[in-house]
Amino acid sequence: MTVSTRERTRRMQIMQEVEGYLDLLLVFGDQYVLNQQVIDRLANRALDTLHQLPIDDIQRRSQALFLKGQCHRCLEDYQQAAESFEAATDLEPENVHIWLALGWCHKRNQRLDLAIESLEEALDVDPDEAIIHYNLACYWSLANNVRTAIQYLAQAFDIDPNFRDLVVGERDFDPIRNTLEFQTLTSVMI
């Protein structure tokens, strides 16, 4: 089926509009405290806009599912978000961002096993991405597996030493923060 230029343009506008709502929530939300009512209104508006999109190709469907997952994350509906991200990984298994988002949702759904599994999938796609190692260290810390958490954290530091700056405020490391292994790794000066 051939899609007219006008239809392609409309689809692109819809995607950009949804991405704009999410930018307001995710980018500005990191800088300013947004009240949940505002977040819900923008996320629901993004979802309503997304439903206008006819999805007929795999890449666009994957992108739409990712955006839908992001909207549900903003609504704190982590189960629905995880379902959207899982569907997106089926269509685009090489996209590390989808795996990271899926792991993030599984963590919030109290499924560390699935969070770890998701990030191990991401690691298969891109073993040189420091954020994957860092997040795996967080999840293994929450699982009270000191040795594995330290291994992943050390790898994150090797790939990108800037991750050292995040450790102090990262509550996910609280379960292992007082261990000798953690203190040794995080006190090494570069």
Q: Is the pLDDT of residue 55 over 80?
A: no
Contact between residue 62 and residue 95 where contact means Cβ atoms under 8 Å apart: yes
* Digit-coded pLDDT (tens) for 8-24: 888 889 889 999 999 98
Q: What's the chain's length in residues? A: 190
Q: Note the CATH number of domain 1-115.
A: 1.25.40.10
Q: Is the pLDDT of residue 26 over 90?
A: no
- Six-digit token string for 156: 């994150």
Q: Is the pLDDT of residue 173 over 50?
A: yes
Q: Is the pLDDT of residue 3 over 70?
A: no
Share of the chain above pLDDT 70, in %: 92
In angstroms, the Cα distances linking 151 to 27, 88, 141, 145 are 31, 29, 11, 10
Q: Is the pLDDT of residue 179 over 70?
A: yes
The pLDDT assigned to 145 comes to 98
In angstroms, the Cα distances linking 39 to 48, 88, 101, 121, 140 are 14, 23, 18, 30, 31
The ranges assigned to domains in the chain are 1-115, 127-190
Q: Is the pLDDT of residue 190 over 50?
A: no
Q: Is the pLDDT of residue 2 over 70?
A: no
